[in-house]
């Protein structure tokens, strides 16, 4: 059965810290891995990763995929209170648009 596991499930840090969120997966016919940020309402798209070792970067956020070890990380540097959210990773299977989500990591940034 395809699955994705995120860790930690919850993380509390101080503003300015750097955090690393983890996402490991076991899936057949892997196509891509996606990261979403969810504040109070709809998940918003952050990154889509399809190739191993290529970092995607957007401002203070970056992500990388390791297809050999079957995991991805999401890094956030110089965290701000606005980064507080649930971060979801999901994978997409070849030939389908369905996404399978992990449990999410609840990140809290304290001022």
Partner 1 sequence: NAGVTQTPKFRVLKTGQSMTLLCAQDMNHEYMYWYRQDPGMGLRLIHYSVGEGTTAKGEVPDGYNVSRLKKQNFLLGLESAAPSQTSVYFCASSYPPGQGDSNQPQHFGDGTRLSIL
Indicate which single residue of 59, 82, 95, 111 sits in contact with partner 1 (rule: CB under 8 A): 95
Q: Does 9 bind partner 1 (CB under 8 A)?
A: yes
**43-62 footprint of partner 1 as x/- string (CB under 8 A):** xxx--x--------------
Q: Measured on CA atoms in the order 103, 25, 74, 50, is the torsion positive or negative? A: negative
Question: Segment near partner 1 (CB under 8 A), from 13-21, 59-67, 73-81, 87-95?
Answer: 87-95
End-to-end CA distance of the chain: 41
Number of residues binding to partner 1, judged by CB under 8 A: 24
Residues 23-42 that bind partner 1 (CB under 8 A): 31-32, 34, 41-42
b/e burial code for range 62-97 (CB count within 10 A of at least 16 → b):
bbbbeeeebbbbbebeebeeebbbbbbbbbbbeeee
């Amino acid at each position: 059965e395809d699955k994705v596991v995120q860790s930690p499930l919850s993380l509390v840090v101080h503003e300015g810290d750097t955090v690393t969120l983890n996402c490991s997966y076991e899936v057949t016919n892997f196509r891509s891995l996606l990261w979403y940020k969810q504040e109070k309402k709809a998940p918003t798209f952050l990154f889509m990763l399809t190739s191993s070792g290529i970092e995607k970067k957007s401002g203070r956020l970056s992500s990388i995929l390791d297809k050999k070890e079957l995991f991805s990380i999401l890094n956030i540097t110089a965290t701000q209170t606005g980064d507080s959210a649930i971060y979801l990773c999901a994978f997409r299977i070849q030939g389908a648009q369905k996404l399978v989500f992990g449990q999410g990591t609840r990140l809290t940034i304290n001022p």
